[in-house]
Amino acid sequence: MVRPTVPEADREIGIRHPVLGHGFVALVDYMGEDAAIVQAARVSYGRGTKSVRDDRGLIRYLLRHRHTTPFEMVELKFLVRLPIFVARQWIRHRSASVNEYSARYSIVPDEFEVPPPDEVRHQSQHNRQGRGGPLDPAVVERFRSDLERVARDAYTVYSGALEAGVARETARLVLPVAYYTQWYWKVDLWNLFHFLSLRLDPHAQEEIRLYAAEVAKLGRLVCPVAFEAFEDFVLSGLSLGRREQRAIRSLLAGATPEAACKAAGLPLAREDGKPMTSGEGVEFLQKLARLRGEGSPGDEA
């Protein structure tokens, strides 16, 4: 028997796709493809399904109805080089296997991330975790040169400590989170979708979103049908809570969005009358804007 493969994915194995200043994502290996999802599902649904649904239809049905385990039959392994501050966000996804470069065992290379000028922006006014509008160019340049100086000084101290005999596991304490690490990351397709749904989202930090986009491009080569379903139903999907459905019913009956929110108990103003900038009502209006095709649902994060 020959192992199932996908020529488009095989051509990408080992190719490093650059991300940020010194990072990359490479597909190292994979097990299974769209057919593996179908094969697993037919074990539970039996042969009968074949006659009523083609493979694409079955994959889309499974995804819509959150029948998740067939997607776990596909595994993908990546090699990723990333700054430590991105790695700290990425590692929170517990349902993957990781093997990281050991800074106890090996010397950390002198590579650190300095964001490009247009990525050094104001603290967001709406999102406490995000960045917002542009800054004075002088502030941007001072920050970038300060970061570069601090990183270079830290590496000088690190190298000096190693030369003086300090253990690598201790000397590394001086290095900032802008320094790079590297790991193998193996994940099944369902948990990859979960990772991507969180890390492609406009609320995720820009840097991890760039990595997620490269991971998604490579994953799509392995399972194009499953990825199309994921994009249709999860990434571009829209969930409506009970109050939001109530507001939609009011809208369909002719109410204005503000009146519909009021009737449904979706607040748009604070007690002092000032308009709210976040919360259920604001998010509902953002969903309406999306339905009207008026841009992304995110704020300026």
Interface ranges with ligand FAD (CB under 6 A): 92-95, 129, 191, 194, 198, 203-204
Minimum separation from the CB atom of position 185 to ligand FAD (A)? 11
∠ CA 198-298-194 to the nearest 5 degrees? Answer: 10
* Residue 199 annotated among the catalytic residues of the structure: yes
Nearer to ligand FAD, 53 or 186 (CB): 186
Q: What residue spans of 124-188 are helical by DSSP H?
A: 137-163, 168-171
Nearer to ligand FAD, 65 or 92 (CB): 92
Choosing from 199, 220, 242, 292, which is the catalytic residue? Answer: 199
Q: Identify the bridge partners of residue 82 per DSSP, sorted by sequence position.
A: 181
Comparing C-alpha atoms, which of 95, 26, 13, 74 is closest to residue 224?
A: 74
- Closest CB to ligand FAD belongs to which residue? 94
Nearer to ligand FAD, 128 or 242 (CB): 128
Minimum separation from the CB atom of position 203 to ligand FAD (A)? 4
Please report, for residues 23, 29, 121, 289, the alpha-carbon distance to residue 182 in angstroms, rounded to integers and kept in the order given. 9, 17, 27, 40
Please report, for residues 47, 82, 138, 199, 292, the alpha-carbon distance to residue 118 in angstroms, rounded to integers and kept in the order given. 55, 20, 12, 21, 30
Nearer to ligand FAD, 95 or 170 (CB): 95
Comparing C-alpha atoms, which of 76, 37, 74 is closest to residue 59?
A: 37
3-state helix, strand, coil in the chain (%, to 5): 50, 15, 35
Q: Identify the bridge partners of residue 96 per DSSP, sorted by sequence position.
A: 187
Minimum separation from the CB atom of position 32 to ligand FAD (A)? 19
Asked if 135 and 120 count as a contact pair (C-beta separation under 8 A), the reply is yes
Q: Identify the bridge partners of residue 185 per DSSP, sorted by sequence position.
A: 78, 98
Minimum separation from the CB atom of position 169 to ligand FAD (A)? 25
Nearer to ligand FAD, 45 or 195 (CB): 195
Minimum separation from the CB atom of position 194 to ligand FAD (A)? 5
| Residues catalogued as catalytic | 199
